[in-house]
């Protein structure tokens, strides 16, 4: 099997599709790996590190797509890349089809491709291994981001997160109760922030309260409670996820208007459209903007800022899947690995996720009928 790794630095993406360790394992199993030159540079991996372990360095995206049976991408494919996709190719990556353009989806369907989205791979317990592994990283990063943008020199209120003697700590409000929220809550509490979590699942809120030994304030995410807590937040973190679907709007513009000037919003759901009405996409190069007097941080590929760690995590998760596909083929692998089958957006040119078919008004075909 031939595996291709794109260089996505042009899309302000620092992570790479595979680490050198992952490439070494694939080569050991007899697979060829084609890496576009420079793909790993921003993650700290040189072309030589890849080639020394058996990868073949190529110099254009055309070569990656032209030589590969499976192509790994991190950021969703752009228009140029969609045109380069080959017939019957397998595409692994963060595709976020729930917020994709219909014309690009139709272009890919014509090529009879199979599209597997890291963001919707789901195991029997309902856990999302790719998302949750990166969520641990993203949640921790919220502390560093908050500490920076609350500073006066960055337009913030000029407050410290943990407070000091005679001065209370900052108030951090986290919307959500999954792994991403859990990681952010843990980091903020350890820094001394007064932390409040709002969610819709009582069992998850109970687990969060037990995890924090009662230091966390938990509330049901009703409109009334969301409006009250938004008003007092110094830091507001949106960590709401609906796998494979657009994120719901939890915080309205009217709620944002009540926030303190110089407070901070971090919308971690921006990959899937954002859960705050005033959110719009930003980049690591220009990560923030001000709306209604509030600083907004809405970077979709937030873990790209710690690209080496993120690349290792993604590589560790995808390589076992690639090894099995190489040995047994895509059909048998999807039959055996239900978690991977749940991550299939498109199988051989047919949309296999009902919500995506409905969004684009296209034909839906259940994957079980295709295997």
Catalytically active residues, by annotation: 96, 271
Main-chain dihedrals φ then ψ at residue 101, nearest 5 degrees: -85, 135
- Tallying the residues shown for the chain, one arrives at 371
Angle of helix 202-211 versus helix 179-190 axis, rounded to 10: 30
Long-range pairs for 138-141: beta carbons < 8 A, 24 or more residues apart: 138/180, 138/183, 138/184, 138/268, 138/302, 138/303, 139/179, 139/180, 139/181, 139/182, 139/183, 139/184, 139/185, 139/186, 139/187, 139/239, 140/183, 140/184, 140/187, 141/302, 141/303, 141/305, 141/306
Residue among 108, 288, 255 at smallest CA distance from 173: 255
Alpha-carbon gap, residue 239 to 119, rounded angstroms: 14
DSSP 164: B
| Contacts for 277 with CB less than 8 Å, ≥ 6 apart | 249, 251, 252, 253, 256
């Amino acid at each position: 099997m031939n595996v291709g790794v794109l260089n996505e630095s042009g899309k302000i993406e620092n992570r790479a599709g595979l680490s050198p360790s992952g490439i070494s394992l694939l080569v050991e199993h007899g697979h060829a790996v084609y890496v576009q030159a420079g793909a790993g540079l921003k993650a700290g991996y040189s072309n030589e590190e890849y080639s020394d372990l058996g990868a073949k360095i190529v110099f254009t995206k055309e070569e990656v797509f032209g030589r590969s049976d499976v192509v790994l991408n991190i950021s969703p494919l752009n228009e140029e890349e969609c045109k380069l996709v080959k017939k019957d190719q397998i595409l692994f990556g963060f595709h976020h089809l729930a917020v994709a353009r219909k014309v690009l989806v139709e272009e890919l369907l014509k090529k009879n491709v199979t599209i597997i989205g890291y963001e919707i791979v789901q195991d029997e317990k309902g856990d999302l291994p790719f998302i949750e592994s990166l969520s641990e990283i993203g949640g921790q990063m919220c502390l560093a981001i908050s500490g920076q943008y609350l500073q006066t020199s960055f337009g913030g209120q000029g407050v410290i997160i943990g407070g000091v003697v005679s001065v209370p700590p900052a108030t951090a409000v986290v919307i959500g109760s999954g792994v991403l929220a859990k990681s952010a809550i843990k980091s903020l509490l350890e820094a001394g922030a007064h932390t409040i979590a709002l969610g819709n699942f009582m069992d998850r809120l109970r687990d969060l309260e037990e995890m924090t030994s009662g230091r966390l304030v938990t509330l049901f995410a009703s409109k009334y409670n969301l409006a009250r807590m938004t008003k007092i937040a110094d830091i507001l973190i949106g960590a709401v996820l609906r796998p494979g679907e657009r994120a719901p709007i939890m915080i309205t513009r009217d709620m944002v208007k009540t926030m303190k000037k110089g407070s901070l919003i971090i919308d971690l759901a921006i990959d899937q459209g954002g859960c705050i009405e005033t959110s719009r996409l930003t980049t690591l190069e220009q990560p923030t903007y001000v709306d209604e007097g509030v600083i907004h941080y809405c970077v979709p590929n937030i873990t790209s800022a710690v690209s080496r760690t993120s690349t290792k995590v993604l590589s560790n998760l995808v390589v076992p899947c690639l090894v099995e596909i190489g040995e047994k083929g895509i059909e048998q692998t999807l039959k055996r690995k239900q978690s991977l089958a749940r991550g299939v957006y498109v199988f051989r040119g047919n949309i296999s996720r009902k919500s995506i078919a409905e969004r684009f008004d296209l034909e839906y075909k259940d994957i079980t009928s295709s295997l």
